[in-house]
Amino acid sequence: MAVAFRRLLGRFLGAQRESHAPAPGTLAHLVDLERTLGYRFRDRSLLVASLVHRSYYAGTEVNAALQSNERMEFLGDSVLSLVVNEHLYTRYSDRTEGELTKMKSVVVSKQILAHLAKKMDLGRYVLVSENAQRAGVGTMESVVADALEAVFGAVFIDGGFEAARRVVLGVLPDNLGEVVSQEGTINYKSLLQEYIQALHKVPPRYRVHSTTGPDHDKQFAVEVVVKGNILGSGTGKTKKDAEQKAAREAYRRLTNSPAEG
């Protein structure tokens, strides 16, 4: 185990502080998260590893790509997909393959994962650098969604598929139809801006490409542009609706999220 990670683990597994709300970096903090998940780790270093954002090692000689939770997120993504596929197949026996595919694409999307992660307040457990913490990185939707997948991966390594299955289904609402219905309430403009700002330090720009139809029934065609590149387009009866659709197309393309269909 790398020296940097041993130090981090020591910080987490050190003496507990007396507090009604467990302070970050204590055993009580990990136990608090385990209680939320409904799962107790045999090896809590796995839980720690699932919570480390790459910014935590910024400015050090540590390879953040190896020591952060990114590899565990990769595993957790596959665990989540298998659990959801099995559950949908078993529970919705009257749905076609196409309907199940659409349901699954929504349930495992970064947008829904971020919503679920925020409901369980996962952002307060994510370890980021001090600068990143001041910038609110630890509570960004993309960060908490990735952390949730990493936690699923950690549970799988620690307890196997059945344990991971219980945790995943415990996080998801009982009625997955409810999750699917939330897809229409996602603010893609906000998600895209957060994603683009993190990558390029500039916000995306929206421009009306064309307007068609009479005044009482106009259709707006909008493009979302970053540094001169068109990332997505959308049409709607209002500029706001068209911008949301353009942002949805751009965000899904950038994050490889499945499209509806």
Helices (H), 38-127: 44-50, 64-67, 70-91, 97-107, 110-119
Q: DSSP letter string over 102-131?
A: HHHHHHTSHHHHHHHHHHTTGGGT-B--HH
Tell me the chain's radius of gyration from C-alpha atoms: 20
Burial of 254 (0-12, 13-18, 19+ CB in 10 A): middle
Would 260 be classed as within a structural domain? no
- Where is pLDDT greater, at 136 or 223? 223
Query: Do both 49 and 175 map to the same domain?
Result: yes
CATH of the domain at 32: 1.10.1520.10
Average pLDDT of the segment spanning 156-185: 81
Residue 223 has pLDDT above 90, yes or no: yes
Highest mean pLDDT among 17-21, 103-107, 209-213, 220-224: 220-224
Query: Do both 130 and 244 map to the same domain?
Result: no
Burial of 49 (0-12, 13-18, 19+ CB in 10 A): buried
What is the CA angle 202-58-16, rounded to 5?
120
pLDDT of residue 14: 44
Query: Using one digit for the tens of pLDDT, what is the confidence trace for 18-28?
Result: 333 344 446 77
Would 261 be classed as within a structural domain? no
What does DSSP assign to residue 25? T
Q: What predicted TM-score, i.e. pTM, was given to this entire model? A: 0.67
Of 250, 83, 47, 107, the residue nearest 163 (C-alpha) = 83
Domain that holds residue 146: 3-184
Of 247, 218, 14, 208, the residue nearest 111 (C-alpha) = 247
Query: Using one digit for the tens of pLDDT, what is the confidence trace for 92-141?
Result: 899 888 778 878 877 888 878 888 899 899 998 998 877 877 877 777 88
Choose the final residue of a domain: 184, 209, 231.
Answer: 184
> Residue 30 CA to chain centroid, in angstroms?
20
Span of 13-17, 159-163, 225-229, 252-256 with lowest mean pLDDT: 13-17
Query: Do both 135 and 199 map to the same domain?
Result: no
Residue 224 β-bridge partners? 206, 232
Of 110, 2, 8, 111, the residue nearest 50 (C-alpha) = 8
pLDDT of residue 22: 40
Query: Do both 142 and 202 map to the same domain?
Result: no
- The residue annotated as part of the active site, out of 73, 141, 146, 149, is 149
pLDDT of residue 16: 35
Choose the final residue of a domain: 126, 153, 184.
Answer: 184
Would 108 be classed as within a structural domain? yes
Residue 170 has pLDDT above 50, yes or no: yes
Task: Let me know if 77 is a catalytic residue.
Answer: yes
Query: Do both 178 and 214 map to the same domain?
Result: no
- The residue annotated as part of the active site, out of 32, 70, 77, 241, is 77
Would 127 be classed as within a structural domain? yes
Choose the final residue of a domain: 184, 200, 228.
Answer: 184
Average pLDDT of the segment spanning 183-207: 79
pLDDT of residue 18: 36
